[in-house]
Amino acid sequence: MSTQNKAILFDRDGTLNVDVDYLYRQEDFCWMPEAVNALLWLKQKGYELYVVTNQSGIARGYYTLEDMQRLHKYMNDELKKYGTEIKKFYFCPHLKDGKIKEFAVDCSCRKPKPGMILQCLQENNLLAENCVVIGDKQRDLGSAEQAGVKGYLYQGGSLLEFVKKIGL
């Protein structure tokens, strides 16, 4: 029965929130237009909501895992005030030539590789055909394609109007 679940896998920066380079501070966080309304709309339609995000700033030493997790908690605290939430954040902290040894890895999760999407599908018993990826970069679509999931390129404007326009 759980394989009937449907889900939207969102890129984070430039899709849910304004893309500030190497964002980790709550003070610098700003939702994209109508992003919260889009998430509420999708929840109402029965979609599970996930984030899949490249966070090479961790490998670069610009911020820590804990900094990122604090920001994700802030996002979900905000969303819960409105009655929705991101079920899980999938992130890639890696970069092949990163400064922080632990994360200087040529991994299989950094988009456009499909690792995070595949992990999300597997962990949550989701079928690729019941999922949609929404992101603002070609690498988001590339990772979706490699995972066999339909991907849509969002390029700003109301995220709510966008999800309605693509039929969600």
User: What residues are annotated to the active site?
Assistant: 11, 13
Residue 11 binding partner per list Mg ion, Zn ion, none, with a CB distance cut-off of 5 to 8 Å that depends on partner kind:
Mg ion
- What token pair was written down for 114? 């499909």
11 is an interface residue for Mg ion by CB under 5 A: yes
Among 14, 112, 142, 148, binds Mg ion (CB under 5 A): 14
55 is an interface residue for Mg ion by CB under 5 A: no
136 is an interface residue for Mg ion by CB under 5 A: yes
Peptide bond into 93 cis (omega under 30): no
Residue 109 binding partner per list Mg ion, Zn ion, none, with a CB distance cut-off of 5 to 8 Å that depends on partner kind:
Zn ion
Beta bridge partners of 17: 13, 31
CB within 8 A of 157, min separation 6: which ones? 33
Strands 47-54 and 150-153: unpaired
Amino acid identity for residue 75 in this structure = M
Per-residue contact string for residues 59-98; x = within reach of Zn ion by CB under 5 A:
---------------------------------x-x----
Residues 65-84 contacting Mg ion, CB under 5 A: none
Among 12, 110, 111, 137, binds Zn ion (CB under 5 A): 110
Among 9, 42, 109, 132, binds Zn ion (CB under 5 A): 109
From the list 59-67, 72-80, 104-112, 150-158, the region that binds Zn ion by CB under 5 A is: 104-112
Pairs from 17-26 (Cβ < 8 Å, separation ≥ 24): 17/75, 19/136, 22/57, 22/60, 22/62, 22/63, 23/71, 24/57, 24/62, 24/63, 24/67, 24/68, 24/70, 24/71, 25/67, 25/71, 26/70, 26/71, 26/74
Residue 113 binding partner per list Zn ion, Mg ion, none, with a CB distance cut-off of 5 to 8 Å that depends on partner kind:
none
Residue 14 binding partner per list Zn ion, Mg ion, none, with a CB distance cut-off of 5 to 8 Å that depends on partner kind:
Mg ion
Q: Give the integer Cα–Cα distance in Å for 140 and 21.
A: 17
Binding residues vs Mg ion (CB under 5 A): 11, 13-14, 136
Binding residues vs Zn ion (CB under 5 A): 92, 94, 107, 109-110
